[in-house]
Amino acid sequence: MAEAKSSPASEPTRRDMLFLATGAMGAAGVVALAVPFVRTLAPNAQTIAAGAPIEVDLTPIPEGQGIKLFWRGKLIFVRSRTKAEIEEAQKVNLASLPDPQADSARVKPGKENWLVIYGSCTHLGCIPGGSAAGEVRGDYNGWFCPCHGSHYDTSGRIRKGPAPTNLPVPPYAFLSDTKIRIG
């Protein structure tokens, strides 16, 4: 018959070793946690990925150009619209739009030169071109999705092609004339 072996009191048992190991991990954990706690004052990459608001400095964006960035894992376009692009977006007969929406409902009052929209085609999710210099902007000088030929205007509204709806506007607010917070 097998007999359970007992260890001498002076020798650490396997369980003692486990406790020691856990204690060491715990101490390391406290040290490791202390640093991120201070850093939470500014959202880290993980927090941003989880959906924290992000601030975007608009100053590097030249008039008539745009940038692409990610928020909550989704692509966002930010474009600095020219006067002509704004006028083009405002003068459209809403009844002619597949997804009628006034330009004023898609921008912030007094900041009509900035357009902030999601950058995923509402047809099947391709990425429309038109943000960076040199990208094809389509028939309405906005964005063009080459996958199946959807044309968006300077307000990000669908004008031609299979996409059923406009490029949506994410939640955002101006913190100053040159900074927005998305989320």
Query: Does 126 contact ligand FES by CB under 6 A?
Result: yes
Query: Does 167 contact ligand FES by CB under 6 A?
Result: no
Is 123 considered catalytic here?
no
Catalytic residue among 148, 173, 177, 181: 148
Q: For residues 121 and 138, what is the distance between their CA atoms, to the nearest angstrom? A: 13
Smallest CA-to-CA distance from 151 within 107, 91, 80, 97 is with 97
Among the candidate windows 31-39, 69-77, 105-113, 116-124, which touches ligand FES by CB under 6 A?
116-124
Residues 135-164 that bind ligand FES (CB under 6 A): 145, 147-150, 161-163
| Shortest reach from residue 126's CB to ligand FES, in Å | 4
Nearer to ligand FES, 39 or 148 (CB): 148
**Encoded amino acid at 45, one letter:** A
Query: Does 89 contact ligand FES by CB under 6 A?
Result: no
Q: For residues 15 and 164, what is the distance between their CA atoms, to the nearest angstrom? A: 64
Smallest CA-to-CA distance from 51 within 79, 74, 69 is with 74
3-state secondary structure of 126: coil
Q: Rule CB under 6 A: which residues touch ligand FES?
A: 121, 123-126, 145, 147-150, 161-163
- Catalytic residue ranges: 148
